Structure 1
Amino acid sequence: MAMSTEKKVGLFFLLALVALGAVIELVEDWSPFEDQTPYLTYFDSGVGIKVGDPVLVAGVDVGKVESVAIEKGKVRIDFYVVEGTDIREDSIASIRKANLLGGQFLGIDFDNPESPPLPPGKALRSRPTTNIDQLINNIDRNQERLMGNLGDFLEESKETFTDAVRQLESVVRKIDQGEGSLGRMVNDPALYDDLHLAVGSLKTFLDRLENGEGSLGRLLKDPTLYDEASATLVNLREISDRMKKGEGTIGRLLVEDDLYVQTGDAMAEIRELAVKVNEGKGTLGKLVNEDGLYDDASAAMQKVNSIAGKIDEGQGTLGKLVNEDGLYRDAKTTINKVEKTVDGLSDSGPLQALGVAVGTLF
């Protein structure tokens, strides 16, 4: 059976698409018009790197891996970069992961930008990389070490943990049985009742505050306190303004310098007076510094004490005047006689009055 024209055309396009895909795959890395500079490097392990993986310098795609082979116990990687790529003698190559799915690339880092360029075909220094197998082995070793140390710790602390658990069980049992303060708090309903009463009292107190009852409630609800405080602040501001302007006594004290000058002069005079007193000048200086006045005053006080003692004992005329009553009675009698004489003189002549006075007194 002959193939129809439509089928021939369809088959032709299908073969053309297959051929196009094969050509694209084969010539993907073919750049006939791009100059390439070859280099190589060595690694102890090249896990994951393969031909065609990109070469990145500072994160920029500049080439491809051309071959991966074993040479003298090392992994040799040949690669190229586009002409003009800055590869220097101290540049370092390393195998890195492009993503978490396992993609690899050959990364090249700069070191010293002043280092001379590396000639084409020369080997770059390399930095060892940790592959997934080494990472798993390290995790396994660390896990074994950690679990071993943890096991040893648990074995050494077994008795301590057992005692702690036993004591904890004892404490929980006592609490459950209502022993001790904590047990009574957990099991005694009085605590709940007291707490309920306290909450009720607090609610009542807050309600009273909300209603403006009591002193605190009035402070919260009555705007008079705020008004008075505002008025007080206004008055204080006015007083402060007046003081700044130098009004009133305090304002003059703050603004004018006369008080300061007078105070300074007074302090200078007091200092000068104190210096004179310390030097023994003047009456006050002699009183402060000389001992003669103290000795004279002490002697005078001793004499006064002696005289007072004699008077108190009734010695001498003054002592008899103070302590004996006879003198008082004689003086009173004499005063009465003088009064009678004066009364008689007013009614008699001179001679008769003289005789009356003599007779009265004697």
Structure 2
Amino acid sequence: MTISNETKVGALTSIAIVLLILGFNFLKGKSFSNHKTQYYAIFDNIKGLANSNPVMINGKQVGTVFSTDGGLDMRKITVTLNMSLPVNIPANSVAFVTSSPLGNTALEIKLGDSTKFYRDGDTILTKKGGGMLDAVLEKVDPVLFQVSNSLRDLDSILISANSLFDPNTKSNIRNMIDNLNHTTASLSISSASLQTLLNTQTGALAKTLNNVGSFTETLAKNNDKMTGIITNVEKTTATFSKLDLENTLTTLNGTISNLKTTIGKINSDTGTLGLLMNDKKLYNNLTASTNKLNLLLDDLRLHPKRYINISVFGKKEKEGPLMVPLPDTVNAPYIKQ
């Protein structure tokens, strides 16, 4: 069977078109295998990173950039990575965009030291890349490059911290600083007052110490007098200690016991004094005798001739004796029985 030239040309053209499409897709970072490992990275600025740009780890390409998508606001750009080699990427690894002096842009992954690894579909941590100048600086002066990275990280931290503070928080911090200033001013005033207090010439503490010094000096001058006073007190206490206080207290207790016995007898109805104080009959007899004495005195005052008769002619009183005292006996009233 003879194949015509037209058929050969058509077959070669079809094969060329297929190879062209496959090569174009390969350059775009698309994988031809059914299984592919994809990671994601989110950047604020991808610095010209495009599809099919290489993904590098320690200078070796391990994948390509599949797509970049910033959405409608373009504030955060999500980069999709297709991995062409099976690589274990630690979970604390960081991705950043690098540029070479020739203008080639790539995505670099700096491996971490974690024992856990990213899985298919995870998002890798990112940081800002330095660009061509940082690449040159890293080659020329690695120490200065590390300092530059540290300053950049510090700037990012300060920006993040500033974004965390809302106006109320900033106002509170400002008020706190003002209060701290007032506190330091008060401390300054207090320290000045304390310095005045501790002044060796005019301070209150110095005057107090001077008074204490004068007092102790006076005590030192009167040391002999104080010694004499203490000696007299010791002699007095010794004299008191020699007194027979025990016998005195025993005698006093006996006297008190006798006095209690006497008072008990007085309060009882036994004995002469007890009968005089407690027997009601004696009181009644004394009252009756007093009434009879008052009656006799009134009768004697009103009828003296009845008791003293000095009449020459012998005239006798016709009135009988008084039976009741007169009502004018105010100072000695008659007590009815």
What band does the TM-score fall into relative to the shorter chain? 0.3 to 0.5
TM-score if structure 1 supplies the norm length? 0.31
TM-score if structure 2 supplies the norm length? 0.33
Higher relative CO (Cα under 8 Å, sequence separation at least 6) belongs to 2
Greater Cα radius of gyration, structure 1 or 2 = 2
